[in-house]
């Protein structure tokens, strides 16, 4: 099935122009969002089915989280507001099995190909390990608070965080706890959501951000702190002239990169902006305090490649590699930044209600919008390439592999999308 769904001129909420300047109090949620470029026809629906059982959903207006793709065996694992984790066939979206939990499943699962096991969390406060072949329960670990972020494998350890600012290390085969650390959550108001852990195998470090505005590196083996906690809320207060920020949260999962002088992590505080820190010491390398309200980061990395066939430079020298740090904010828009300096390369408005994390697919990035569907965007300049609107929003972050993307709408409709390479053809 190849179903092409177009969008009307008033349905898209992402503008394609770049912002001309950065100001700390910009609000770029247009009341009446508009198309600035016509759909290209690059996105095609190849699988569509209603997945979530409406009778099982209680109190959830959106489907969140993100699917996990097992490309080798053609499976997609995705949680649902109906309390279930589903294993689906990637080709047509049919169900292989479903696992029931005691709460909604809005967590991005982790597929462990070596063990053929799926790890995932639930709002019931537990982390689960189930057999990928048939969904049989292997073990369940109760953490005491909502688990909504993707776990991370670090050797024989499984690392995950919960919504109470706790970081756990478990034996990934048995589920037995090896160590845990906890920070007291910030007093006052917090933005919904929290950060997950990142692991650097070369350094043997785990990076975690917290709702009190701190970012910390731990020894993966025993949970010992490896550098002095970095207080991004203090940085935000300093940049605001001494005024305490309203929200202290650092809800972005740290993003790792190789910088000019070693390993770097990128994080964003809700009030303080986006930061680059030295991964070994925690020292600040740069900060962009204009990019406030950021909930998700992506490092887009384009390898060297020949010029576009049929383009103006066809037959010329190789196009060099390029990196762009993308930051998604419902307040200040979708940003493209130079990862070495934090300088803004481009910025575009986002729709009322916000957008998901950007996800690379077929040389572009795809984002979901809470009210207006899916959009394909060029990471080089922020231009809109294409969009799909099924009449409901997509709050779930898409998952992608190669030229395929998968997501679930807020009405519980599972979508498989084929993305054609948006570059011109001969």
Residues 318-351 pLDDT 10s: 778 899 999 999 889 999 999 999 999 999 998 8
In a domain, 19, yes or no: no
Kindly report the backbone phi and psi dihedral angles of residue 237, in degrees, each rounded to the nearest multiple of 5, phi listed first.
Answer: -65, -40
In a domain, 237, yes or no: yes
Q: Give the C-alpha separation, 142 to 189, whole Å.
A: 26
H or E stretch covering 298:
strand 294-302
* Residue of 49 and 53 predicted with greater confidence: 49
Query: What is the model's pLDDT at position 92?
Result: 92
Query: What is the model's pLDDT at position 186?
Result: 66
In a domain, 285, yes or no: yes
Structure-token pair, residue 373: 């569907």
Query: What is the model's pLDDT at position 251?
Result: 87
pLDDT-derived band at 128 (thresholds 50, 70, 90) equals very high
Check if the beta carbon of residue 66 is closer than 8 Å to that of residue 398. yes
Percent of the chain with pLDDT over 90: 65
Q: Give the C-alpha separation, 60 to 71, whole Å.
A: 30
What SS3 class is residue 93? coil
The CATH number of residue 400's host domain is 2.130.10.10
Mean pLDDT of all residues in 265-289: 94
pLDDT-derived band at 249 (thresholds 50, 70, 90) equals confident
Check if the beta carbon of residue 65 is closer than 8 Å to that of residue 105. yes
In a domain, 11, yes or no: no
Structure-token pair, residue 44: 């095609």
**Average predicted confidence (pLDDT) for the chain:** 85
Q: Give the C-alpha separation, 153 to 159, whole Å.
A: 6
In a domain, 20, yes or no: no
Residue 17 pLDDT > 60: no
Check if the beta carbon of residue 344 is closer than 8 Å to that of residue 290. yes
Query: What is the model's pLDDT at position 27?
Result: 35
Query: What is the model's pLDDT at position 277?
Result: 97
Query: What is the model's pLDDT at position 413?
Result: 93
Query: What is the model's pLDDT at position 49?
Result: 92
Residue 7 pLDDT > 90: no
Query: What is the model's pLDDT at position 187?
Result: 58
Structure-token pair, residue 283: 């020292």
Residue 191 pLDDT > 70: no
In a domain, 322, yes or no: yes
Look at the chain and report how many structural domains it folds into. 1
Check if the beta carbon of residue 243 is closer than 8 Å to that of residue 257. no
Mean pLDDT of all residues in 104-112: 96
Could you identify the residue written with the tokens 């629906």? Answer: 45
Structure-token pair, residue 139: 């073990």
* Residue of 296 and 248 predicted with greater confidence: 296
Q: What is the pTM of this model?
A: 0.87
Query: What is the model's pLDDT at position 420?
Result: 86
Query: What is the model's pLDDT at position 313?
Result: 64
Query: What is the model's pLDDT at position 31?
Result: 35
The separation between CA 77 and the C-alpha centre of its own chain, rounded to angstroms, equals 16
Task: Identify the burial level of 248 via C-beta atoms within 10 angstroms of its C-beta, where 0-12 means exposed, 13-18 middle and 19 or more buried.
Answer: buried
* Residue of 370 and 115 predicted with greater confidence: 115
The pLDDT tens digits of the residues spanning 385-397 come to 998 887 788 999 9
Residue 424 pLDDT > 60: no
In a domain, 413, yes or no: yes
Instruction: Give the domain extent around 256.
Output: 43-419
* Residue of 317 and 178 predicted with greater confidence: 178
Structure-token pair, residue 113: 């190909």
In a domain, 425, yes or no: no
The pLDDT tens digits of the residues spanning 361-379 come to 998 999 999 888 999 999 9
């Amino acid at each position: 099935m190849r179903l092409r769904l177009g969008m009307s001129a008033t349905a898209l909420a992402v503008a394609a122009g770049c912002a001309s300047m950065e100001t700390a109090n910009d609000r770029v949620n247009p009341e009446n969002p508009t198309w600035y470029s016509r759909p290209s026809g690059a996105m095609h629906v190849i699988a569509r089915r209603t997945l979530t059982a409406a009778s099982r959903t209680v109190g959830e207006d959106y489907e969140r989280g993100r699917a996990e793709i097992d490309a080798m065996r053609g499976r997609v694992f995705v949680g649902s507001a109906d309390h279930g984790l589903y294993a689906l066939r990637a080709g047509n979206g049919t169900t292989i099995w479903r696992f029931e939990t005691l709460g909604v499943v809005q967590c991005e699962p982790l597929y462990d190909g070596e063990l053929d096991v799926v790890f995932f969390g639930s709002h019931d406060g537990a982390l689960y390990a189930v057999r990928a072949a048939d969904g049989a329960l292997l073990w369940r670990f109760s953490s005491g608070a909502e688990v909504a972020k993707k776990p991370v494998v670090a050797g024989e350890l499984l690392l995950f965080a919960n919504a109470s600012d706790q970081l756990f290390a478990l034996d990934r085969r048995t589920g037995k706890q090896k160590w845990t650390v906890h920070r007291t959550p910030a007093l006052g108001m917090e933005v919904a959501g929290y950060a997950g852990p990142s692991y650097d195998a070369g350094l043997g470090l785990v990076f975690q951000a917290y709702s009190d505005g701190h970012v910390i590196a731990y020894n993966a083996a025993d949970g010992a702190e490896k550098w002095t906690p970095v207080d991004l809320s203090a940085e935000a207060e300093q940049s605001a002239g001494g005024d305490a920020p309203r929200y202290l949260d650092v809800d972005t999962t740290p993003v790792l990169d190789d910088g000019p002088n070693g390993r770097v992590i990128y994080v964003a505080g809700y009030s303080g902006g986006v930061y680059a820190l030295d991964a070994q010491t925690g020292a600040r390398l740069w900060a962009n305090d204009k990019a406030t309200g950021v909930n998700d980061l992506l490092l887009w990395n384009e390898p060297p490649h020949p010029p576009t066939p049929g383009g103006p430079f066809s037959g010329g020298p190789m196009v060099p590699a390029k990196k762009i740090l993308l930051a998604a904010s419902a307040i200040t828009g979708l940003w493209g930044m130079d990862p070495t300096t934090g300088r803004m390369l481009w910025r575009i408005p986002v729709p009322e209600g916000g957008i998901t994390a950007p996800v690379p697919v077929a040389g572009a990035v795809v984002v979901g919008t809470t009210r207006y569907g899916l959009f394909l965007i060029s990471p080089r300049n922020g231009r809109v390439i294409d969009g799909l609107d099924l009449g409901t929003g997509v709050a779930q972050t898409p998952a992608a592999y190669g030229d395929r993307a998968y997501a679930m709408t807020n009405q519980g409709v599972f979508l498989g999308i084929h993305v054609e390479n948006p570059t011109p053809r001969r």
